[in-house]
Amino acid sequence: MALLVPSSSLLISLLLVLLFIDPSVASPIANATGYALVARICEQTYNKYYCTDALKSDPRTKTADPKALLEVSLKLASSNATATTLQIQSLIKDAKDPGLKDHLQVCADVYKGIVDDLTKANTSSKSGQYDDVRRSAIRATHGPESCEVAFKEPPAHKTPLSTYNFYVELLSDIVVNIASIIKL
């Protein structure tokens, strides 16, 4: 049986093709739109089912390109972070236990940062600075965990914010994933 060894000129030709290949061919996700894009994005998150439901909740998703889908995801993440902030403020107001109130105040401070990060991400998106969008959204994904950890500090309390934190973290992660594919 003969062993086929590619010639060096063939290897060089293949290397040149790979170096100069159109990025849209190398990254078909960047060319996807609508629900096909949603499916590809959501495969990269840690809860593809919620991701899909969340993104499809906006009618623009049906025909969205990556930039339009980024706008949708930023709106969802920002509105959820703002709603969580309002919930925290309500819980602080009603809290009788000083330890619980302290933990909630930590979360209020954390969520101020999350809302600021998502606002920066939105501004960066509008100016086409997708690396900045990604960095701001990454910071936002870490905030909910900081809120969760606050409730484990003495005196420990059961967090009333786990569901809120889960959604804000996931929605921020969706923003990270979309911003990452836009910059490809």
Which domains, and CATH codes, for the chain? Answer: 66-182 (1.20.140.40)
pTM of the predicted structure, to 2 decimals = 0.82
Classify burial at 50, counting beta carbons within 10 Å of its beta carbon; exposed 0-12, middle 13-18, buried 19 or more.
Answer: middle
| pLDDT digit string, tens, across residues 28-85 | 565 788 999 999 999 999 899 999 999 999 999 999 999 999 999 999 999 999 999 9
Mean pLDDT, range 144-164, rounded to an integer: 96
For residue 184, give the nearest of 22, 7, 50, 15 by alpha carbon: 22
* Residue of 162, 6, 140, 5 lying closest to 82 (CA atoms): 140
The identity of residue 13, as a single letter, is S
Contact 107, 129 (CB under 8 A): no
Q: Tell me how far apart the alpha carbons of residues 142 and 136 are, in angstroms, rounded to a whole number.
A: 10
Specify the residue for token string 């910059």.
183
pLDDT for the residue 27:
47
The 8-class DSSP code of residue 22 comes to -
